[in-house]
Structure 1
Amino acid sequence: MPDRFAPAQILDRITADTLALHRALRTVAPDHAAALAARITDAQELAGTSLRLFLGLAEHTPHPSSADLLRLERIAQIAKAAQDAGAELTAALARSVENRRRRAEAASGRVVLIGPSPQQFIESATDLLDRIPALYRAIHRDRLLPPSPLTDQPR
Structure 2
Amino acid sequence: MKHYTKENFNLTKSVGFHLNKARNLVLMEMDAALKELDITAQQMGILLSLSRGTAATPFELSKLLVIDTGLMTRMLDKLEQKGLLARSRSLEDRRVVNLELTDKGRVVAQRIPEIAPEVLNARLKDFSKAEFDELLRLLDKFSA
The two structures have a TM-score, normalised by structure 1, of: 0.28
Bigger Rg over Cα:
1
Larger RCO (CA within 8 A; separation ≥ 6): 1
Looking at secondary structure, tell me which structure has more helix per residue: 1
The two structures have a TM-score, normalised by structure 2, of: 0.29
